[in-house]
Structure 1
Amino acid sequence: MKIKCVFLLLLLSAFHCQGQENEQEQPSEQDRPYPWLDDMHKNIAQSVQDTAIWFDDFFFLDGVMHQEVAQAEARIRLGWEPRSRELNQFQNRFRVRVRLPNLKNRLDVVLSDYDDETDLGNERLGRDESFGDKDRINLALRWRSRPNSGFSHRIGLGRGLQTFVKSRYRNHFSMTADALLRIEGSIYYYSDDGFGSHFSTKFDYSANADTLYRFDNNFYYRDRTKDWLWRHSWQSLHQFDRKTAIISGYYIEGLSRPNYQLNEHYVSMRWRQNALREWLFYEVEPFILWRRDEHFSPSYGLALRVEGFFGHT
C-alpha cells in the first residue's frame, strides 16, 4: 500500500508542476519544489553505488588498484494499469546493474524482476500468467570477452530460483542512412523449465529528426511446453522536445500450438514526460486490449506509470 501511495503522489506532483515549468524559469536547486525527491534519489543512488563498490572489491584479485571506480545503475518503475474487467492490475518493475572494473568491465552483476528479452519500456499489457510471467526475479553474472562484444554469457538464478545458463548475441546493421536493422539470438537452459531460445529482429526507420517508425518481431521457443510464443509490433515514436515523446503502436501475440493462432492484440498511445527532475519520468497510456480467453471482447484501459533512474546512468 505504501508503494502505491508514493506512486500516486509522484504522478500527481508531476502533473501539477509540469505547467509551472512551462511558465517560469527553472528554479535553483535550493528552491526546487518537493525537496524530499532529492533526498530519496540521493539515498537510493548512494545505496546502489555502495553495492557496486562492494561487489568490485569482492573481485579484487590482482593487487593493483584501478583508476576506474565501480559503477551501478538502477531503474525502478511503478505502474497501475486498470482496464475494464481488471481494475486492480499493478505492475512494478526494477533492474540493477553493477559494472566491475576490477574484472576489466567484462563481468556485470544484474538483478531484475523481468527477463531482459523484453524491453522495460515496451512491456505487454494484460499479461497472462500461463506465459511464465510469475517469479521473474533474476540474479545473474554476465560475462563478455570484451566490453563492446556482441556475445554475452550469463549464469544465475531466475524464474522461481531455478539455476540457469544463457548465451546471447546482439548486433545492428545500418542498411541506409535512415534505416537500422537490429538482430538478437539467444539460447538458455533452466533447471526445471529446460531449454529455450529467443530470436528477434527490429527494423527502425527515421522519417525525420523527430519521428521513428519501428517493426519488431520476437519468437520464443519453450521446451517446457514444446511450443513457440511469438510477438509482433508496429510502432511510431515521435519526440516533441527533449522531455516529451509519444509512442503509438499495435501489438499482437500468440502461440504455435495447437496451431499458429492469435491469443491477444492491443492498440495503445503512450505519452512519456520528463518532469520535476531529470531522473524522473511519468507515462500515461490509454489502450484497448482484445484477448482470446475473453472472446476477443474489447477491454478499455489506462496505464499510469512513474519511472526513476538512480546511480550512474
Structure 2
Amino acid sequence: MRKTGIFAVSLSFLLFSSASQGQENDEVWIDTMHKSISESVMDSAQWFDNFFAKANKQEDQHALGEVRLRLGWEPRSRELNEFEAKLKVRVKLPNLKNRVDLILSDYEDNPDDKVRAGRVNDINRQDNFSLALRYKNKPDSGLSHRLGFGRRFQYFAKSRYRDTANILPDLNLRYDASIYYYNRDGFGSDLGLGLDYDYSKEMLLRFENRFYFRDKSKDWLWQHSWQALQQINDRTAVVYGYYIEGLSRPNYRLEEYLLSVKFRRNTQREWLFYDIEPFILWRRDENFSASFGIALRIEGFFGER
C-alpha cells in the first residue's frame, strides 16, 4: 500500500472521530488544531508578502492565505486500494496590488468531479504538483497568466481566460480556454463550456463539456457530464452525476462512463466537510463490465478564503 494511502486513511479516521464525538476535550482538540494551522497559514502569507513591500511603506491590507486539504478512499470491485490526497495553497499578495497570487497545488485548475477510479488517462492521473505565481492585470479579470514548476518538476507557462454570461434569468453559460507549455511534455490546451440552469430554489442542473489537447501524444481527451445538484438543507447537498470520457485516437470513441450519487455534508464546524459517493463505473480496459464502489472523502479548509 502506498504511503499516501496510509496517511489518507489514518488522518481521515482521526478527523472523522474528532468531528463526530461530542466530548468537550475532542472539540477543544480539533478546534485548537484548526486555529493553529490557520494562524500559521496567515503568518506565512504575510511573511511572503513582506518581500514585496516598498521601503518604509506597506499596504493597509493583510495578506490572505488559504489551505484546502482533501483525503479520500474510493474502493470498488476489482480495485480496493484507490486513495486520494489533494492539497491546494493560495496566497493573496496586497503588496503586489492583489494582482499576483502564489499557488501551490497537486491538481489542475479544472479537476473534474468524477471519482479517481474513473480517470484512466494520464492527463488526470499524472503527478500534477505545481508551484506557480499567477498574475492578473486586475483582481477581477478573467485573464490570468502563470509561471512556475509542475508535472514532475517541469517549468511551465500558462495563460487562461474564463468568464460567465447570463443567457436567461435562470440560465448561465460558463466558458474558459487556456494554452500552456511544459518543457518536456510540450504544448497543450484545454477548452471548457458549461451550462447552469436554476431548475428551482433547491436544484441546479449542470451540463459540462471539456476538451484537452496533448502535444506529447497528439490527441484530444474529451469529457462530458450531466449533473443535478440538490440542496437538502443548510448543511447537506446531493449531486446526481453521469459522466463519459473518451479519446480522439485511434478514433473518436468512448473510454469509460460513470454513474454516481454524492452526499456532501458540512459538519458542526464550518471548515470541515465529508462526502459519501456510491458509484458504478464501466471502462473499456475492463470490457465495460460494471464495477461497483463507494468514495469516502473528508475535506478541510484552513486560513481565510
TM range (shorter): over 0.9
Alpha-carbon distance, 1:62 to partner: 5.5
Which range is displaced more, 212-221 or 130-139?
A: 130-139
Deviations 1:272-292 (A, max 9, x none): 000131100000000000111
Q: Percent identity?
A: 52
Structure 2: state its 5+ residue gaps. 1-5
Q: What code does the residue aligned with 1:255 have?
A: L
Matched, 1:221 2:226: no
CA distance in 2, matches of 1:284, 1:270: 6
Q: CA deviation at 1:44?
A: 1.4
Q: CA RMSD in A?
A: 1.7
Paired with 1:62 and 1:249, the residues of 2 have a C-alpha distance of 53
Who is 1:56 aligned against?
A: 49
What's the counterpart of residue 181 of structure 2? 189
Which residue matches 1:11? 16
Paired residues for 1:141-156 under 5 Å: 141-156=133-148
SS in 2 for 1:146: coil
Give the 3 Å change call, closer, same or farther, for CA 197–102 of structure 1 in structure 2: same
Superposed CA offset, 1:108-143 (max 9, x none):
000010011225xx1443132533522211100000
Aligned residues of 2:18 and 2:30 also touching (Cα < 8 A): no
1:33-55, CA deviations, whole angstroms, 9 ceiling, x for partnerless residues?
53211122112112211221121
- The answer (yes or no) to whether the contact 1:244–1:272 under 8 Å persists in 2 is yes
Q: Which residue of 1 aligns with 2:3?
A: none
* Distance in 1 separating the partners of 2:301 and 2:122: 31
Matched, 1:87 2:92: no
Aligned partner of 2:101 in structure 1 is 108
CA distance in 1, matches of 2:247, 2:121: 14
Letter in 1 for 2:279: F
Unaligned 5+ segments in structure 1 are 21-29
Contact 1:11 1:305 survives alignment (8 Å): no
Question: Match for 1:115: what amino acid?
Answer: E
Q: Distance in 2 between matches of 1:78 and 1:197?
A: 28
In the alignment of these two chains, the number of paired residues is: 299
Is this contact kept in 2: 1:153–1:165, CA < 8 A? yes
Q: Which residue of 2 aligns with 1:42?
A: 35
Normalising by structure 1, what TM-score?
A: 0.91
